[in-house]
Amino acid sequence: MPCLSSTDNNLFRIHTMTAYLGIGTNLGTDKAANLRQAVSLLNEQAGRVLACSSFIETEPWGFQSANTFLNAVVAIDTPHSPHALLRITQAIERSMGRTHKTVDAHYTDRIIDIDILLYGHEVIRDADLTIPHPLIMQREFVYRPLFEIAPEAEHLLRTI
C-alpha cells in the first residue's frame, strides 16, 4: 500500500520564485570568466539559471578606478527565501575572493558583485535587504541587461 495517494503528490512540490540578479566584476585577467564562474555557482547553489543577459562593459559607477566593469543580469528559479538567497550570493562572492562589501556607498574594485534586483513581485525593505534593488533605474549597466531578459520588468518597476 503506497504512503500517499495520487492526489497527495503536490506535497512534494517545492515552491520556487523567479529572481533577477545583477552580477559584475572589474578585477582579474578574464572578467568574462569571472561572470561565467558566478553564473555556474549560482546555478549550483542558488537555483536553476533560466536566462543570462549579454555581458556589457561599463565604466565604474560611484567611484574612480582604472578598471572597467563587465556586467550582466541572470534570472534564476530559486527555492530559497530572499534572505537565504542573499546569504548564498554573499557566500559565492566570498568563495570567489571578494573580501569587502560596499558600506555606506563607498565602492571599491571587486572580483565579483552579486545583487538581488527582483524577487518575484515582492517588496522588501529591512536592515539587510531592499527589493527591488533601489538603484536599478539609476544604473544603465543594471537596467539594460535586466530589460534584455525581462522586458516586463520595466512596467513592474514603474508600478512599485
- Confirm whether 113 is a catalytic residue: yes
Select which of 48, 87, 104, 110 is catalytic: 110
Catalytic-labelled residue, pool 13, 94, 113, 158: 113
pTM of the model: 0.85
The amino acid at 62? G
Give the active site residue among 36, 98, 109, 144: 98
Q: Verify whether residue 8 is a known catalytic residue.
A: no
**Annotated active-site residue in 115, 125, 126, 158:** 115
Q: Evaluate whether the domain defined by 14-159 bears CATH number 3.40.50.10540.
A: no
pLDDT (tens, 9 = 90+) of the chain, 160 residues, equals: 344 444 444 555 578 999 999 999 999 999 999 999 999 999 999 999 999 999 999 988 777 888 899 999 999 999 999 999 999 999 999 999 977 665 555 667 789 999 999 999 999 999 999 999 888 888 888 999 999 999 988 777 776 6
Active-site residue, 77 included:
no
Q: Give the domain ranges of the chain.
A: 14-159
For the question of residue 104 being annotated catalytic, the response is no
Contact (CB, 8 A) for 15 and 79: yes
Task: Let me know: does 136 contact 150? Beta carbons within 8 Å.
Answer: no
- SS3 label, residue 46: coil
